[in-house]
Amino acid sequence: GAVVSQHPSWVICKSGTSVKIECRSLDFQATTMFWYRQFPKQSLMLMATSNEGSKATYEQGVEKDKFLINHASLTLSTLTVTSAHPEDSSFYICSACQGIEAFFGQGTRLTVV
Amino acid sequence: AQSVTQLGSHVSVSEGALVLLRCNYSSSVPPYLFWYVQYPNQGLQLLLKYTTGATLVKGINGFEAEFKKSETSFHLTKPSAHMSDAAEYFCAVIQNNNDMRFGAGTRLTVKP
């Protein structure tokens, strides 16, 4: 199957700093990628849909100025958590679709201290 | 809008016993349905999917699921649980534009 690579796997940052997470489709092109957030022992919540060459579409309640998404190429989408705070600590997962099948990155564990 | 309901946030079975994880969906049109497994601190791995055709779908690791339109269900089963099956399982449905929505998840525990 197709491969989606997410980097880094985990990151610890100080409160107030920004963190960038990359999501790459390694062997296919993805005009659309998705960013999810998962709290401990909970399901994945869709944050935003990343569209290549255009603005991302954010779900209700997600601050677009805090979670900056850039999809500059057909194989790369980035999520930047700006001015991170401890409540932003979570597991972030991206996915990209090939046909109707979604392929997921391995996730990024963000801890803000 | 489509939604997914997983009954039972936690299921515990003995090794060798039947595994049954429940999933119901709400949709006005035939959906695409998926089951994913997630191990701790990892992404999601596809177990199986239903798009069209045969309603009984076989997946990896001995899992299978049956799409029952009359019951709006897509329950996941495995005849004999293995210790390595212990994980979190998510049922999902595709919405428009490949927007995937997930159920709340079911944590499967396998007792020796």
Residues A102, B100: C-beta atoms closer than 8 Å: yes
What's the confidence (pLDDT) of residue B1? 58
Smallest Cα–Cα separation from A96: which of A25, A14, A15? A25
What is the rounded distance in angstroms from the CA atom of residue B79 to the CA atom of residue B93?
24
Q: Residue B49 in contact with residue A97, Cβ under 8 Å?
A: no
What's the confidence (pLDDT) of residue A31? 87
Q: What is the nearest CA distance from B16 to chain A, expressed in angstroms?
A: 25
Res A88 pLDDT > 90: yes
What's the confidence (pLDDT) of residue A100? 76
What is the rounded distance in angstroms from the CA atom of residue A91 to the CA atom of residue B45?
16
Give Cα separations from A27 to A22, A76, A81, A90 (angstroms): 16, 12, 27, 28
What's the confidence (pLDDT) of residue B98? 65
Q: What is the mean pLDDT of residues B7-33?
A: 91
What's the confidence (pLDDT) of residue A72? 83
SS3 A32: strand
Q: What is the nearest CA distance from A22 to chain B, expressed in angstroms?
A: 14
Res A8 pLDDT > 90: yes
Per-residue buried b or exposed e for B56-92, using 16+ beta carbons within 10 Å of the residue's own CB: ebebeeebbbebeeeeebbbbebeebeeebbbbbbbb
Res B99 pLDDT > 80: no
**What are the residues facing A76 on neighbouring strands?**
A24, A73
| Tens digits of residue pLDDT in B26-83 | 876 768 899 999 998 888 999 999 988 889 999 999 999 999 989 999 999 999 999 9
What are the tokens at B95?
Answer: 């919405």
Q: What is the mean pLDDT of residues B74-101?
A: 89
Residue B43 has its nearest CB partner, among A34, A97, A106, at A106
B29: left (phi over 0), alpha (psi -120 to 50) or beta: beta
Count of beta carbons in the 10 Å neighbourhood of residue B108:
20
| Tens digits of residue pLDDT in A19-75 | 999 999 998 998 899 999 998 878 899 999 998 888 999 999 999 999 999 998 999
Q: What is the nearest CA distance from A20 to chain B, expressed in angstroms?
A: 18
Res B95 pLDDT > 80: no
What are the tokens at B65?
Answer: 């699921």
Q: What is the mean pLDDT of residues B10-30?
A: 91
Q: Is the dihedral of CA A49, A12, A104, A43 positive or negative?
A: negative
What's the confidence (pLDDT) of residue B96? 64
Residues B42, A101: C-beta atoms closer than 8 Å: no
Residues B43, A100: C-beta atoms closer than 8 Å: no
